[in-house]
Amino acid sequence: MHSDLILENAKVITFDENETVHEKAYIYISDGIISEISNKKINISGAQKIDAKGQLLTPGLIDCHTHIVYAGNRANEFAMRLKGASYAEIAQQGGGIVSTVKATRKASVGELTSSAKLRAQTMLDHGTTTVEIKSGYGLNLETEVKMLRVAKSLGKILPISVVPTFLGVHAVPKEYKNNADGYVDYIITEVLPVIANENLATSVDAFCENIAFNVQQIEKLFLAAKKLKFNIKLHAEQLTDQKGAVLAARLGAKSVDHLEYLNPTDCSVLAQNNTVAVLLPGAFYFLKETQLPPIQDLKDNNVPIAIATDSNPGSSPFLSLPLMMNMACVYFGLSIMESFKGVTINAARALDLNKQIGSIELGKKADLVLWSTDNINDIVYNPTFNYCDSIIKNGIVIT
């Protein structure tokens, strides 16, 4: 047997087919792929060896919902909100998503890349080896394309895999004020074909909400996206029940995200269509929401639950998945292992990558994290202590 890297004596926790815990495992890696998992040492010469000393080895974490490419700073807006300013007041003073769109349109590729690189590096430092990144702060062809190119480039300059998502239908830009239909038509006819031709995204996402786009507009977009072979996913039921999640699931969405106002009776539709429920506890916390997603109904219907940072300047500036796991446990009542499953195999399912990543199994990519503890509870219990010790990306030790 050939192997480039052997991880010896690791405590492996992974949600594979059997939800296995391997005590004292030996993981053999060849050409970036997991080639053998054994509880005994196999003598192979020439391979790099790492003694895990009984510490925890997990799949690299997967952040399946982020908006980390943007310009501008909304920390002052946070301070205004703390003083009681409403969204309308903030918008009047030039804040909100409008300010991010303005700054992102103005920013150069270099500026966008350097700020997003710092965010992605911080994610990596906390164990994230795959990150989904959405556009959606350009709201015109030029800037949406610029954002997606920057997102994709991060995967070349950092040892992190990037899954780019086109979110042109995020908000109605000022050029289409009071004409959301016209904007959706513009996206479908002038922007989507360019994103497809230049292979700039694998999924199309949108924001279905009474302050954004309605289900008719979303359906039109998704039918066009499916024709161009994009996966689809949706920001749904965050502030009100628009039945966006049901529409998206019926059209084959890989995930529906947020879901605070999802009607419990709609959980079965997600289950029937293998649609992952992506919960975003950072936004729930930061916006001081009180309406909880229908967690128990999702579980009763066996809907896979993923957890992500939703990292964005307005409602969840956070970058650490262990912090999100903690919040998912505290706010949403998930168990530690449910939260772990939410940032590994179920996050991979939300990105349609569960055949390649998300668990430690033969034939999967060797994206792994070695933690400085043997107890997964530690990582979730105190996310301000970074237990991430070593990261292996594509079979190469990078830290």
With tokens 């360019």, the residue in question is: 194
- Closest CB 175 distance from Zn ion, rounded Å: 22
- Cβ proximity to Zn ion: between 10 and 259 the closer is 259
Looking only at residues 293 through 322 of this chain, which bind Zn ion when binding is defined by CB under 5 A? 310
- Cβ proximity to Zn ion: between 26 and 332 the closer is 332
- Cβ proximity to Zn ion: between 70 and 340 the closer is 70
- Closest CB 112 distance from Zn ion, rounded Å: 18
- Closest CB 53 distance from Zn ion, rounded Å: 39
- Cβ proximity to Zn ion: between 310 and 367 the closer is 310
C-alpha span between 281 and 309 (Å, rounded): 7
- Closest CB 260 distance from Zn ion, rounded Å: 13
* Closest CA relative to residue 306, chosen from 359, 350, 260, 262: 350
- Closest CB 212 distance from Zn ion, rounded Å: 11
- Closest CB 71 distance from Zn ion, rounded Å: 17
**Beta pairing partners, 128:** 61
- Cβ proximity to Zn ion: between 42 and 211 the closer is 211
C-alpha span between 243 and 253 (Å, rounded): 14
What distance, in Å, lies between the first and last C-alpha atoms of the chain? 26
Looking only at residues 217 through 246 of this chain, which bind Zn ion when binding is defined by CB under 5 A? none
Are 283 and 315 a contacting pair, CB within 8 Å? yes
- Closest CB 252 distance from Zn ion, rounded Å: 20
- Cβ proximity to Zn ion: between 14 and 135 the closer is 135
C-alpha span between 234 and 237 (Å, rounded): 9
Strands (E), 231-356: 231-236, 255-258, 276-279, 305-307
- Cβ proximity to Zn ion: between 162 and 376 the closer is 162
Answer yes or no whether residue 209 interacts with Zn ion by CB under 5 A.
no
Assign residue 24 a region: left if phi > 0, alpha if psi is -120 to 50, beta otherwise?
left
Is the C-alpha dihedral spanning 354, 355, 358, 359 positive or negative? positive
Is the C-alpha dihedral spanning 183, 189, 191, 192 positive or negative? positive
Applying CB under 5 A, what is the total number of residues that bind Zn ion? 1
- Closest CB 176 distance from Zn ion, rounded Å: 21
- Closest CB 350 distance from Zn ion, rounded Å: 13
Binding mask 162-191 for Zn ion (x = CB under 5 A): ------------------------------
* Residue number closest to Zn ion, CB atom: 310
- Closest CB 310 distance from Zn ion, rounded Å: 5
**CA angle at residue 307 from 301 to 310, to 5 degrees?**
130
- Cβ proximity to Zn ion: between 66 and 301 the closer is 66
Q: Which long-range contacts (CB under 8 A, 24 or more apart) does 106-115 make?
A: 106/71, 107/71, 109/146, 109/149, 109/150, 111/71, 112/69, 112/70, 112/71, 112/146, 112/147, 112/150, 113/150, 113/153, 113/154, 113/157, 115/70, 115/71
Are 108 and 143 a contacting pair, CB within 8 Å? no
* Closest CA relative to residue 327, chosen from 288, 297, 299: 288
- Cβ proximity to Zn ion: between 167 and 368 the closer is 167
| Sheet order of strands, 231-236 included | 61-63, 128-134, 161-169, 203-206, 231-236, 255-258, 276-279, 305-307
- Cβ proximity to Zn ion: between 310 and 361 the closer is 310
C-alpha span between 358 and 347 (Å, rounded): 7
With tokens 């959706």, the residue in question is: 184
Are 133 and 66 a contacting pair, CB within 8 Å? yes
Looking only at residues 370 through 399 of this chain, which bind Zn ion when binding is defined by CB under 5 A? none
Residues making contact with Zn ion (CB under 5 A): 310
